[in-house]
Amino acid sequence: MMEHRRFSFPRQLSMCGRYNLHATPQEIQAFFDLFRDDSLTWSPRYNLAPTQTVLAVRSSHGRRELARFRWGLVPFWSKDSKLAASMINARADTLAERPAFRTPFQRRRCLIPATGFYEWKAGPGKAKQPYHIHRTGQGLLAFAGLWDRWDKGPGPVESCTIITTTPNPLMQTIHDRMPVILSPDQWNIWLNHDIPIEAAQSLLQPYAQEDLTAEAVSSWVNNVRNDSVECLRKDTSAATW
């Protein structure tokens, strides 16, 4: 699994640049109402970073399937795969305008499972406090995403990006963007590529703050090479919402 080393320090990313998925394959399949596939394996990941392999749900032949993607979109028309590191997020308000996202937005939308995501809040001096944002009471989240297939290399590369939007009041205290989180009643609309694009666009709103909790966590998460439950350890010296 590839690691992009430049994400090994707590830089203030412009959008959503780190998340976790420590649910079991069976929990993921049940949450998204997927066909049970006992061959699917997934080890708990506490510090997923750009260019690494992630899971996403897409529509295939009228049913939802779980697939592996490289995080960081590589457009099908790109001459090489170097764009991936700069395409980890897509702004909801410019999807129809950006050449890299226009076609995937129309034809290749997906759901990206997560158990939480991280953001860094600027504080006094140069230090930034990491926060873990997750569902109140725990549970899975579904980020709105896009995927594409690039086949100009030795082998095909399927990649994805997480869509971000303006923050809800909770996230405003930490960052100026947040991932689009879709509720189960919105999934069929998002994954249906036959609906008017305006219907998909209307879903890209800030998620209800009442269903989210933001907890200050240990700086252990700052280093992308640290991928253990220690990333979720609370920092009791900082504020929690």
pLDDT in tens, 164-219: 999 999 999 999 999 999 999 999 999 999 999 999 999 999 999 999 999 999 99
* 18 has pLDDT over 50: yes
CA torsion, points 151, 78, 149, 2, in degrees to nearest 10? 90
Catalytic hit among 16, 110, 160, 231: 16
pLDDT band with cut points at 50, 70 and 90 for residue 241: low
pLDDT tens figures, 123-179: 777 789 999 999 998 899 999 999 999 988 788 999 999 999 999 999 999 999 999
Mean pLDDT of 15-36: 91
* 39 has pLDDT over 90: no
Catalytic hit among 110, 119, 160, 215: 119
* 14 has pLDDT over 60: no
What pLDDT score was predicted for residue 36?
Answer: 75
pLDDT tens figures, 41-85: 899 999 999 999 999 999 988 889 999 999 999 999 998 877 777
What pLDDT score was predicted for residue 49?
Answer: 96
DSSP state of 84: G
What pLDDT score was predicted for residue 1?
Answer: 33
* 224 has pLDDT over 90: yes
Q: DSSP for 198-234?
A: HHHHTT--PPPGGGEEEEEB-GGGGSTT--SGGGG-B
To the query of whether residue 160 is one of the catalytic residues in this protein, the response is: no
To the query of whether residue 119 is one of the catalytic residues in this protein, the response is: yes
Burial-class residue 120 by CB neighbours within 10 Å (0-12, 13-18, 19+): buried
What pLDDT score was predicted for residue 115?
Answer: 98
What pLDDT score was predicted for residue 138?
Answer: 83
Q: Which CATH number fits domain 5-232: 3.40.1190.20, 3.20.20.100, 1.10.150.120, 3.90.1680.10?
A: 3.90.1680.10
* pTM for the full predicted model: 0.91
Show me where the domains of the chain are located. 5-232
What pLDDT score was predicted for residue 12?
Answer: 38
